Amino acid sequence: MTPALIDADRSSSRRRLTELRRPPVWVAAVIAVAVAAWVLFLADGTPAGAAVDDPGKFLVTVLDGVTFAGLLFVAASGFTLIFGLMRTVNMAHGSLFLLAAYVAIRVQEAMVGRSRNIDPADVGLLDWLVPLLAGAGVAAVLGLLIQQVFLQWNEGQEMRQTLLTLAITVVLADQMLREFGGLAQRMVWPGAVTHFFSVMGERYAVTRLVMLGIAVLVGVLLWLWLTRTSVGIVIRAGVDDRQMVRGLGINIRRVFALTFLVGSFLAGVGGVLGASFAGAAPGTDGSWLLNALVVVIIGGLGSLKGAAAGSLLYGTVVAFSPAYLPSQYSYYAIIMTFGLLALVLAIRPYGLFGRPA
């Protein structure tokens, strides 16, 4: 046999061995059925109780998971573009998220004319939308600057990109602490959407549905851009074969700069939504960078539908774990996130919709 055939045979043997070692899909199905049975019928000693006994709390938990998944998707979609599609490591993604939140809060305070104790009744739709665009715009410009000055010269050098962007994260964190202080701050929703409605006797905030609506809009626009425009087609082709795209006379660096700009803008949008939902404070950048990483790893690199699926799974686990674990073990809810990550990677090592690079 020729050396090429020997190498091919070895690669095939390794793949077969990996498949044999990988847990079958039915394991995940059994776990899913067991979890569903617990939530529906057996969760009597949990904060929410069994779903058949208290369907209102169950539906609220479902809504919590889906709406939080929307926020996760917006934050992770930019990371999907930059890390998943472009294969560029940007550990400063969380810093862009937090910086956009701080900028939006400052712009909103200037527009409303108050710096504290802002009432939603004093906030109009423009008092929320303009700060959103301002914060996301600042994040987009800074992200593009980082890409042009530090990252485009290090394409394919993941370790160098990681160290560079980690250093940028430390610098930005110190500067934000100096400029915006160390106390938690909050972006105030406009009064027009700050209402509640009833779900089987349980109150639920309209603002969470607004957050979900924005996430759906972002997802649809991204999908149309990547699949229905010439720029999106060039981006996907450039990821697979940059030399071929360059051979066609297309300036791939300009296309990737635009992609980085859009990804950073989405990080900013996520930051403003996150500040409206839970506030902004030092350390938020690291938390949301981790959230984006988890979503992209679960969904698979470079897959928009993977980012949506990963967000939905992650959001569901985050919402259901503290509600349906036994009361004395509810503080172990964070472990469920890592359990989800381990289960997905054990069955699908490249993520749900990922493929080998």
Any bridge partners for residue 202, and if so which?
A: 199
Task: Judge whether residue 46 has pLDDT over 60.
Answer: yes
Rg of the chain on CA atoms, in Å: 22
**Distance from CA of residue 303 to its chain's centroid?**
12
Distance CA 26, CA 28 (A): 5
Question: By mean pLDDT, which of 4-18, 25-39, 205-219 is the weakest?
Answer: 4-18
Mean pLDDT of 204-232: 93
Tell me the two tokens of residue 69: 């998944």
SS3 at position 317: helix
Is the domain spanning 22-347 CATH 1.10.3470? The answer is yes
- Give which of 217, 190, 38 is closest to 121, Cα–Cα: 190
Mean pLDDT of 56-76: 95
Mean pLDDT of 131-157: 92
Ramachandran region of residue 117, left (φ > 0), alpha (ψ -120 to 50) or beta? left
> How confident is the model at residue 88, as a pLDDT?
85
Degrees to nearest 5, angle at CA 188 with 186 and 191:
165
Tell me the two tokens of residue 105: 């809060």
Distance CA 61, CA 71 (A): 16
Condensed to tens digits (0 to 9), the pLDDT of residues 242-265 reads 677 777 777 778 888 899 999 999
Task: Judge whether residue 292 has pLDDT over 70.
Answer: yes
Task: Judge whether residue 240 has pLDDT over 70.
Answer: no
pLDDT band at 5 (very low <50, low <70, confident <90, very high): very low
Q: What percent of the chain has pLDDT over 90?
A: 56
The full set of domain ranges for the chain reads 22-347
Q: Is 191 exposed, middle or buried (0-12, 13-18, 19+ CB in 10 A)?
A: middle
Q: What percent of the chain has pLDDT over 70?
A: 91
Distance CA 249, CA 245 (A): 7
Distance CA 87, CA 158 (A): 8
Mean pLDDT of 155-179: 92
> How confident is the model at residue 94, as a pLDDT?
95
Mean pLDDT of 25-41: 85
Residue indicated by tokens 């972002």: 218
pTM assigned to the model: 0.89
> How confident is the model at residue 27, as a pLDDT?
77
SS3 at position 23: coil
> How confident is the model at residue 241, as a pLDDT?
67
pLDDT band at 7 (very low <50, low <70, confident <90, very high): very low
Tell me the two tokens of residue 115: 């710096």
Task: Look up residue 351 and give its DSSP letter.
Answer: -
Task: Judge whether residue 36 has pLDDT over 60.
Answer: yes
